[in-house]
Amino acid sequence: MKVSICLYTFDGVEVQNITEISSEDIESVEIIKDPEIIRIFSPKIGGVVLITTKSKKFLTPILENYNNMSEELVGSVFPDSFSSGNSIFP
């Protein structure tokens, strides 16, 4: 017996509990089911459900975290270049 599961994403973020969002906040839903999904993820994945929200609230924390990490990394690699408002551009 073959068992397939769906991978659910809200604004590109994988979620386990699809009840985390109100149906009124959903902008669009796209279902992807093709051989490429099996190749990329796993033979156990039967498809991917891409849910885009109106507010993009699930994506916002990820972008904020990415920006903070980028600033910390650049500051630690080039500490003198970015201190006191210095710019790397002339």
Span 1-30, pLDDT tens digits: 565 688 888 887 888 888 878 888 889 998
Better pLDDT: 43 or 25: 25
pLDDT, position 72: 56
Select from 49, 56, 51, 54 the least CA-distant residue to 24.
54
Better pLDDT: 22 or 87: 22
Q: Which domain holds residue 66?
A: 5-79
Query: Residue 90 domain-assigned?
Result: no
Query: Residue 38 domain-assigned?
Result: yes
What is the number of structural domains in the chain?
1
pLDDT, position 75: 55
Pairing of strands 45-53, 26-32: antiparallel
